[in-house]
Amino acid sequence: MEKAKMTVDKDFTIGVVDKRLYGSFIEHLGRAVYGGIYEPGHPSANEQGFRTDVLEMVKELNVPIVRYPGGNFVSGYNWEDSVGPVSERKRRLELAWRTIETNEFGFNEFVDWAKQANSEVMMAVNLGTRGTDAARNIVEYSNHPEGSYYSDLRIKHGYKQPHAIKTWCLGNEMDGPWQIGHKTADEYGRLAVEAAKVMKWTDPTIELVACGSSNLNMPSFPEWEATVLDHTYDHVEYLSLHQYYGNQEQDTPTFLARSLEMDRFIDTVKATCDYIKAKKRSKKTMYLSFDEWNVWYHSNENDSKMDPWQIAPPQLEDIYNHEDALLVGCMLISMLKHADRVKMACLAQLVNVIAPIMTDTSGGSWRQTIFYPFMHTSLFGRGTALVPLIQSPKYDTKQITDVPYLEAIAVHNEEQGEVTVFAVNRHLEESLPLEVDLRSFGKCTVIEHIVLESDDLKASNTAAQPNRVAPHNRGGAVVSDTLITASLAKASWNVIRLKVQ
């Protein structure tokens, strides 16, 4: 096969990678909370009922921020139901996912869990059924030191110190007809800017995320973004993007090319933001929060048969295979290629619900295939993303043309003296010879070449076979002066870590 070439230069940078790019998401949906992060009585549960086996795997992923409590759930969320004595909390019909929400696990419990997971909280406010008053009140409860009704209520609930949550989402997917309290762009923009004002008057140190389109195929995209930003541009720091992909047609070459659509999605949102920046004669740059992204389709049929009004039923429990891990790797590379503007992202979700971590009712837990590319980029993708100049053989599908077999990026961690190359070989039948020119770095040595590969694209990890698809470090990359040579196995995810001398 024709070889691929990649050239990177330490002076040709995309931008500093914000650690929050490796965030995740916990929604009150399915078994993400109950039976996922929280299960009193489980052998591993600590005194607060948090599963420590799950906590340890979350720590392996090094997740810096977790979005909560939704998602669609937040558009019917009364935050007051989830605080105070558990015995006094209300059970509610949860209309987004048609379940019963017990509120046994609530806002303060999540803050405690996030601290134990070494994560910050990205908190969402309800702009579906509620609005400015509830938004300012939860910020007061969370962040005001003392001496006001809601801050003193937090203290009464056992939390003397403020939670100091700095990142807040102004609702969720408000362009979607499925959303509780769905709004037009003008309706949402007006509500979002008024909520933003009172939230920042309550705590001027917070940062806010406005809702972008629910996905790139929404009929109102990107006009929604332009209209919402017309209202909110001066009051928010981020605009959200959401996107999921599936392989319902069992067309793997097209499936693995979907990250090119993700690139175009990000570029279109950036352009829309910059149009509003120009329109307003603003000096402020709008950053992006890709706060829902993943593969999601395996569980759709089972979910359609689910009986309503259960407590924590097994919803959205995709069991991921090897090809899913390859696309997740490509999507992570896409976000790194836009590290100048995409500053936060949330893999949706973290446990059980379209998640890298799974638990079962018998008490076990395991890492799904997608766990590994996410973990590798979170651990080794810190630093500065470098412009990748790539020459690669290409292929065409019925839907997407000129798809490079090589998808790759390099990140320079100057503090650690390391350069890491992340690369996917999209070819399903042949290995891909690769040369990476690191001419500006001087001599380098290979620390390790990690590979995730499988002869079976549909191979999955399960409770019975938790390591069926797992990475190894026998990749075989070598360096001669400043030139890396490697053979990327067919349909593989690769992490080539280099020490800069």
β-pair partners for 437: 7, 483
Among 80, 101, 120, 292, the one annotated catalytic: 292
292 counts as catalytic: yes
Give the C-alpha separation, 281 to 168, whole Å.
Answer: 26
Determine how β-strand 120-125 pairs with β-strand 167-170: parallel
Among 27, 101, 173, 323, the one annotated catalytic: 173
β-pair partners for 406: 425
Q: Which residues contact 199 (CB under 8 A, 6 or more apart)?
A: 125, 135, 136, 139, 168, 206, 208
Helix ranges restricted to H, 233-314: 252-256, 258-279, 300-304
Q: How many CB atoms lie within 10 A of CB 308?
A: 12
Nearest to 166 by CA among 218, 103, 238: 238
What would you measure as the largest C-alpha separation in the chain, in angstroms? 70
Output Rg (C-alpha) for the chain, integer angstroms: 23
Q: How many CB atoms lie within 10 A of CB 86?
A: 13
Q: Bin 203: left if φ > 0, else alpha if -120 < ψ < 50, else beta.
A: beta
Q: Angle at CA 288, nearest 5°, toward 283 and 292? A: 165
Nearest to 131 by CA among 171, 184, 97: 171
How many separate helices (H) and strands (E) can be counted in the chain?
11, 25
> How many CA atoms lie within 13 Å of 37's alpha carbon, on the beta-carbon side?
30
Q: Which residues contact 434 (CB under 8 A, 6 or more apart)?
A: 3, 4, 5, 6, 406, 423, 484, 485, 486, 487, 488
Amino acid at 116: Q
Determine how β-strand 23-25 pairs with β-strand 389-391: unpaired
- Judged by DSSP in three states, 432 sits in strand
Amino acid at 219: P
173 counts as catalytic: yes
β-pair partners for 125: 170
Give the C-alpha separation, 10 to 411, whole Å.
Answer: 9
The token pair at 169 is 């989402």
Nearest to 355 by CA among 110, 46, 61: 61
Q: What are phi and psi of 282, to 5 degrees?
A: -95, 150
Active centre residues (catalytic) = 173, 292
